[in-house]
Structure 1
């Protein structure tokens, strides 16, 4: 077999651990900077509207959604979805999240091809990220208790789901870096400067 338990232990589990560590780092950083008030005193939703208008993205609507760090831009509906904690916060972290998501709206306006490809893969990646690690663990437990190949195949299925997520993240890293990088258009960002 191409994939054995050695592959699972020495490749897949470390990748899962790295993914967990990266996610934890983002959450810790967000928590730290969510305690720092921004200089404008504006909420994340207000910042979003001001930057969107200043950048000429008047067709993008701002919507408040449930969850934490679930913020996203939906190019199909031209909607900037902000988690309640970001939309109502006056923190530097909220401003940063808003600016990053608006970067995706700018990518959409510019027809950035990598973002269009990424948008089509998001639903599959969401399923894999939620189910993949749990299915791997279930397979390991089944294999341990039943001593049958069934557990191995269950774990392998979970690994394939999770590998798809890792591939998605690697392929979309340029999209995320581009959205976070310097503004695509200087218009819009000046609007936060004190007058």
Structure 2
């Protein structure tokens, strides 16, 4: 079912493509809704492995484009697909979603007391074949955390569906993140300022 924000800020026109979000992330859905966009959600299983030679932003952009390619055959000419992938990088190590609670604890132990980068890759694929792929970077600073704090977060929140085993909007973001360099929304899973800019350029939204 299409989702839309009440009193949408986006002017409607039959010439604009219908937006399709290919993501199960409630955070991405909320961010698009908060932008005032109407969109439909489509979901399917897509392999999230990536070539070993890719690093940092290359990984995020590759995964976003790879996801879009999986949906492309079913995309109508008047639709515009949005896919995204968020990764956490500690130096050149990519920390994706943890497999279990033990791995989540280990990831957070590595991140505590250090700064790391969050990259979100985005692919906008128009049904007429036009494609835009980009990424955004945010540097996140964590204060030192105790094992008890890490275990509390892992036990009481939901780190297994989040890159790097944490969500900046969660409890751990409030107690651990001391500084951000870049977009907070990018850390949540979508660089909405860039998404809006590219959608305007593609003629998909406007005021």
Q: Normalising by the residue count of structure 1, what TM-score does the alignment of the two structures yield?
A: 0.29
- Identify, as 1 or 2, the structure richer in helix: 1
Q: Normalising by the residue count of structure 2, what TM-score does the alignment of the two structures yield?
A: 0.27
Which structure's CA Rg is the greater one? 1
